[in-house]
Amino acid sequence: MITDEKKGKLIKIRISVQSDGTKYKCSECGKEGEVEGETLWARYIGDNKAKLDNIPFFAEEIGLGDLVEINDDCEIIRVLEKATVTRKATYKISEDKEETIKKWKRIWKYFENTDIKTEGSYPGLFSLSIPIDMNDKRLREICENCSVKIDLIEVSVDQ
């Protein structure tokens, strides 16, 4: 149960996701398997409502800043208000680890100057938080102007 003393503080919330059959390696334990859910940070508003504070990776139907309703186990029940759209993108990793890190830093810096926020998942893959009113054509234009070649991953859910 979430108490009022959590109001305004960051809490961990969870959302179940439908697996697409892809196996991922856990960065914490090293085990490989299909993803069944995603845990995210959110700021607790009160009355079982929270605002997402990081960009989802697997749960494409929610986004950074979305207002969500949660149950007493901190699981997302539904989105009350959309703030952004979540997308994923890839970039080519290099054999040289330092070069891959430099590429990611260039991508991250590039997007700092746009309305799009990014969050890295692992080398070669990252999530984007897109303003709700930005169309796909504009998103592609922005990505094409980055000095590192970025490939958007097609959306798998209706957003």
The series of mean pLDDT values per 10 residues for the chain, 159 residues long, is 80 84 62 78 95 92 96 95 96 94 95 94 90 95 96 71
Partner residues linked to 84 by β-bridges: 131
- pLDDT value at residue 30: 67
Q: What pLDDT is attached to residue 1?
A: 64
**Taking the CB of residue 101, how many other CB atoms lie within 10 A of it?**
13
Closest CA to 127 of 71, 60, 66: 60
Q: In this structure, what are the phi and psi dihedrals at residue 48, rounded to the nearest 5 degrees? A: 60, 35
pLDDT at 60: 85
pLDDT at residue 155 in the model: 72
Q: Domains in the chain, please, with CATH?
A: 4-82 (no CATH), 85-152 (3.30.70)
Q: What is the spatial distance between Cα 42 and Cα 24, in angstroms, rounded to a whole number?
A: 24
pTM of the prediction? 0.83
Residue-level pLDDT at 121: 78
Q: Copy the structure tokens of residue 119.
A: 């969050």
The pLDDT score that the predictor gives to residue 58 is 83
